[in-house]
Amino acid sequence: MNSCKHSDLCMWLWSVWVKTPKLNNNDILIVSACLPYVNREIYENLSNRKQTLFACPEREPASYYGKIASIIKSSKPRTITVATIDGSPHCFQLHAAVNEAVYITGEEVDRKHYVIVDGEKIVEISPDSVRVARYLHLVEKLINAHPEILEELKKHSLEYIESLKNRRELKEL
């Protein structure tokens, strides 16, 4: 098991040497540092037989793409899997950074992107979903074409629910 406990040595994406032998030609999991606390079972299933690199864009520098590009060039990982908490504006950066690193290096690396929805359900997303999310004018087009998606957003986003309450209160004034 590759699970990191408090007494074990953890590998952090930002702090790991890009030529660390454990990464060489191996399967790498880049995971939100909070995932083991949010859903231990999902974390353990994903980390099985992978070298896990913890990351938290909220507490570390956000320029992960350069570090990941260096790992790709130096360690030639077989696969890269990214797993983050869905809806986190910070965690999204990890998905974008992996796509950007593959683009920068020109190397094709088998990769998987997963988000953990509401802390309970794992959903695979495509690299194209990550790309589209970077272009807000395209997201706006999708919302305009499918406004019902905002009803789905209500089920997941406390921020959106609060914004709806504030809009109602403003209208009442």
| Same-domain status, 107 and 154 | no
Per-residue model confidence (pLDDT) at position 6:
41
Q: Which residues of 41-78 are buried (b: 16+ CB within 10 A; e: fewer)?
A: ebbeebbeebbbbbbbbeebeeebbebbbbbbeebebe
| Same-domain status, 114 and 171 | no
**Best CA proximity match to 58, nearest among 23, 18, 22, 85:** 85
| Same-domain status, 140 and 73 | no
| Same-domain status, 21 and 105 | yes
- pLDDT one digit per residue (tens) for the chain, 173 residues: 445 554 356 899 999 999 999 999 999 999 999 999 999 999 999 999 999 999 998 888 778 999 999 999 999 999 999 999 999 989 999 999 999 999 999 999 999 999 999 999 999 999 999 999 999 999 999 999 999 999 999 999 999 999 999 888 767 76
Number of structural domains found in the chain: 2
The whole-model pTM stands at 0.89
Taking every pair of Cα atoms in the chain, the longest distance, rounded to a whole number of angstroms, is 63
Per-residue model confidence (pLDDT) at position 171:
75
| Same-domain status, 106 and 24 | yes
| Same-domain status, 117 and 140 | no
Q: State the amino acid at position 39 in one-letter form.
A: N
Domain range holding 46? 1-126
